[in-house]
Amino acid sequence: MGQCLHARDTVPATRPYRELPSKSTDAHAMPTQPTPLLQRKHFLLGTFASNCSSGMSVTKVPERWQNSWDNNLKLARLLDDAGIDFMLPIARWIGYGGETNFHGDVLETVTWATGLVAQTRQLTVFATTHTAANHPVVVAKQIATIDQLGRGRAGLNIVAGWNNPEYEALGLKLAPDHETRYAYAEEWYQLVRKLWQDPGRFDWDGAHFQLKGIHSHPKPYGEMPPILNAAGSGLGREFATRNANFLFTPAIDLARSKDEVAELHGSARAKGRKVGVLTFSHVVCRPTEAEARAYLSHFGQQHADWAAVDNLVNLQFAHAQSFPHDLLALIRDRMAAGHGGFPLVGTPQQVAQGIISLAEAGFSGTTLSFVDYVAEFPYFRDTVLPILRAHGLRDA
């Protein structure tokens, strides 16, 4: 049933780097370059979770995603050449159990992003950071360093916390209430932003951080690395509409999404800001609908790792409000197939139509995942992207 093309062979370690003007040799220069991702006006496309074992599909099929460095590099180059906008990783420290220990093998996101930015030309690569596990001064410098390396192509996905067993594994205490989590995240991010924007040294005397004579140089290459935040709770959304360029939310039911996106735009507008709303989708694209549906049922039902799915769903429902709690049964199936992502299943025309419907619901973009990203992306590139271009949704 699986695709015959596999991405297990090795790839050359280096690729010619396109020379872009180095901004300045002055280490104290302030960023002046526009941020490449924020210049793009078309419907954004990225990938999600390729740094994690099994990607977004909680499945036991043997062709499930292997998150090796070689596979990630291969995928990044395919995406870069196809004009895809970004790659987004998941920061995960322990797996979800089940037969496959879903997400038990994960490439660390800051180092992963650094390597990929060095090996690509136009793609933005996000790092994902748990506020509680990473000191903001360290993160500000890490992201600024990647941004210098990639000439403005680094992004930061901020995670305020939800996965209690993971916090216990790290010896951290997850605040039970969202007020405390997001108050901490707010101070954490205000500090990162000041470190990126303040030309001099400063003291910081906050509730969580007290710093003396801190400064951070170099600054990011771009004006501001794009900030992404995924929050379902009211307080999380307040945080995102106040601070992020993009808010991530699941698209479970597009009628609901339309109102939700409009509300999020309104909430950002009330703060004098513009925030794009992104979602995440899982792609099963085949020449016929019957083939696509048969493969979905094969990997996402018959061979799903249901024990891991249930661990994932239970954790989501215990600690986070990302998914609407009244849609559990539907979500369990979608969790198996694509970690709760919007299903883009069918022929190239049907998949393209699904993406068009996301745009019509008000989303500014979506991530894509595949059971085997490297084997399946080229078919999507060759058949779906031209339809999106013809529809005016994509420049590339």
Ligand X SMILES: Cc1cc2nc3c(=O)[nH]c(=O)nc-3n(C[C@H](O)[C@H](O)[C@H](O)COP(=O)(O)O)c2cc1C
From 96-104, 215-223, 269-277, 317-325, span contacting ligand X (CB under 6 A):
317-325
Measured torsion, CA atoms of residues 334, 338, 342, 346, in degrees rounded to the nearest 10: -100
**Binding-residue pattern over the window 266 to 295 for ligand X, x denoting contact by CB under 6 A:** --------------x---------------
Question: Angle of helix 109-118 relative to helix 136-149, nearest 10 degrees?
Answer: 10
> Which two tokens mark 98?
């089940």
- Among the candidate windows 77-85, 135-143, 155-163, 168-176, which touches ligand X by CB under 6 A? 155-163
**Shortest gap between Cβ of 1 and ligand X (angstroms)?**
28
Q: How far is the CB of 288 from ligand X (least distance, A)?
A: 30
Which of 230, 254, 285, 361 touches ligand X by CB under 6 A? 230
Residue from 231, 285, 296, 352 binding ligand X (CB under 6 A): 231
| Residue 380 binding ligand X, by CB under 6 A | no
Q: Which among 288, 279, 347, 309 has a CA at the least distance from the CA of 99?
A: 309
Alpha-carbon gap, residue 128 to 52, rounded angstroms: 12
- 87 binding ligand X? (CB under 6 A): no
Residue 241 · residue 271 · CB < 8 Å:
yes
Site for ligand X, residues 1 to 60, rule: CB under 6 A: none
Q: Cβ contacts of residue 171 below 8 Å, gap of 6+?
A: none
CB 355 within 8 A of CB 391: no
Residue from 84, 91, 352, 375 touching ligand X (CB under 6 A): that is: 91
CA–CA separation, 102 and 13 (whole Å): 28
Single residue of 53, 119, 163, 281 touching ligand X by CB under 6 A:
163
**Whose structure tokens read 């960023």?**
31
Instruction: State whether residue 44 is helix, strand or coil.
Output: strand
341 membership: H or E segment, kind and range: none
- Examine residue 102 and tell whether it contacts ligand X (CB under 6 A): no
Distance CA 358, CA 393 (A): 11
Residue 128 is a binding residue for ligand X (CB under 6 A): yes
The distance of closest approach from Cβ of residue 11 to ligand X in the complex, given in angstroms and rounded to an integer, is 25
Structure tokens at 166: 């993971």
160 sits near ligand X (criterion: CB under 6 A): yes
Q: Quote the distance between the C-alpha of residue 2 and its chain's center.
A: 26
Ranked by CB distance to ligand X, the top (closest) residue is 236
Judged by CB under 6 A, the number of residues near ligand X is 19
Residue 307 Cβ, how far from ligand X at the closest point, in Å? 20
Which of 101, 145, 233, 357 is the binder for ligand X (CB under 6 A)? 233
CB nearer ligand X, residue 92 or residue 151: 92
CB 347 within 8 A of CB 285: yes
Nearer residue to ligand X within complex by CB, 66 or 129: 129
CB-wise, 63 or 85, nearer to ligand X? 85
Task: Select the span of 229-237, 286-294, 350-358, 372-380 touching ligand X (CB under 6 A).
Answer: 229-237
Q: How far is the CB of 339 from ligand X (least distance, A)?
A: 9
Q: Does an H or E element contain 277, and which?
A: strand 276-285
Give the single-character DSSP code of 121.
S
Q: What distance, in Å, lies between the first and last C-alpha atoms of the chain?
A: 31
- Contact predicate 54/102, CB 8 Å: yes
> In the complex, what is the shortest distance from the CB of residue 153 to ligand X, in angstroms, rounded to a whole number?
19
Tokens 């080229």 sit on residue: 378
Residues 142, 104: contact at Cβ < 8 Å?
Answer: no
**Of 61-69, 168-176, 252-260, 315-323: span binding ligand X (CB under 6 A):** 315-323
* DSSP code for 59: B
| Residue 142 in the binding site for ligand X (CB under 6 A) | no
Q: Which position among 36, 95, 222, 232 is part of the footprint of ligand X (CB under 6 A)?
A: 232
Residues engaged in binding ligand X (CB under 6 A): 90-91, 128, 159-163, 178, 230-233, 236, 248, 280, 320-322
